[in-house]
Structure 1
Amino acid sequence: MHFVTGGAFNGKLKWVREQYQLDDLEHTWISAYKGEEIPELHGKKIIVLEGIEVWIREVTRSIPAAACREKWQSLVREWIKWESKDQERKLVLIGNDISKGIVPIAPEDRLWRDVTGWVYQDLVSAAERVDVIWYGLNQKLK
């Protein structure tokens, strides 16, 4: 599993496309920004899930923070299991860093920011590779 994060509009998508040469390879790209749901993983060797923070926000609206984090931990376990069944499988997760700037005033926005931070910590812990993209440049953290 590869987790890619960074600021909005900082080149994460372009970097992932170039890193994995996705224009040449068969892959699946699922985007929360387009209203797509988190999929059951199957099929393609490379699957990109874009907009992790959007899916986290949806979950925080319906269940408590602890349950939300547990739900995401369960998803991560499923994703790792999917990857482990074939050496050529790769899951790439892309999420905007929403932890910088002013702390939101609205309680539901603060909750979303907090849960996103916790989920990202879990993703970083589980991922075999982690990159931060700022202004189109990557910094490999793991």
Structure 2
Amino acid sequence: MHFVTGGAFNGKSEWVKKQYHLDDLEHSWYSAYKGDEIPELTDKQIIVLEGIEVWIRQMVQNIQADVCRQEWLSISQKWMKWESGDQQRKIVLIGSDISKGIVPMAAKDRVWRDTTGWVYQDLVLRADRVDMIWYGICQKLK
């Protein structure tokens, strides 16, 4: 599993496309920014899930933060199991860093921000590779 993070509009998606040569490879790209749902398992070799923080926001509106975190743990374990079934498979998760700046005034926004941070920590712990993209430049963290 590869987790990619960084600021909003800092080039994460373009970097992933270039890193994995996605213009040349068969892949599936699911984007919360475009209203896509988190998919079920697929037969494609590369799966990109973009906008993790948006899916987290949707979840914490309906369930408690700790339940949301456990749900993401379950989702990531499912995809890691899928990935381990074939060495050609790769799951790439892209999530914007929402931890910087002013702490939100609204309680529901603080819960979303905190939950996103916890989920990202869990993803980083389990990921084989972690990269941060700022202004189109990659910094490998793991």
TM-score, normalised via structure 2 length:
0.99
Measured against aligned partners, the alpha-carbon deviations of 1:83-135 in whole angstroms (never above 9, x if no partner) come to 01010000000000000000000000000000000000000001000000000
The alpha carbon displacement at 1:42 in A equals 1.1
The alignment yields a C-alpha RMSD, in angstroms, of 0.5
- The secondary structure found in structure 2 opposite 1:121 is helix
In structure 2, the partner of 1:73 is: 73
The alignment partner of 2:28 has SS state of strand
1:85-100 alignment, distance < 5 Å: 85-100=85-100
- SS of 1:98's equivalent in the other structure is coil
Identity over aligned residues, as a percent? 70
User: Using the alignment, how far apart are the partners of 1:32 and 1:41 within structure 2?
Assistant: 17
Identify the residue that residue 11 of structure 1 maps to in structure 2. Answer: 11
Question: For 1:1-142, what aligned pairs fall within 5 Å after superposition?
Answer: 1-142=1-142
Cα distance in 1, alignment partners of residues 67 and 31 from structure 2: 23
SS at match of 1:14: helix
Give distance in 1, aligned partners of 2:28 and 2:71.
Answer: 23
Q: In terms of mean alpha carbon deviation, does 109-118 or 66-75 score higher?
A: 66-75
- State the distance in 2 between where 1:71 and 1:15 align: 28
Structure 1 unaligned regions, length at least 5: none
Question: 1:43: how far off?
Answer: 1.1
2: CA distance between counterparts of 1:17 and 1:98?
A: 22
In structure 2, stretches of 5+ residues that fail to align are none
Distance 1:68 1:94 in 2: 18
How many angstroms apart in 1 are the aligned matches of 2:14 and 2:36? 20
Q: Return the letter of the residue paired with 1:106.
A: A
Q: Give the Cα separation in 1 of the matches to 2:63 and 2:55.
A: 13
How many residue pairs match? The answer is 142
How far apart in 2 are the matches of 1:34 and 1:135?
22
Aligned partners of 2:121 and 2:65: how far apart in 1?
Answer: 14
Alpha-carbon distance in 1 for matches of 2:135, 2:8: 10
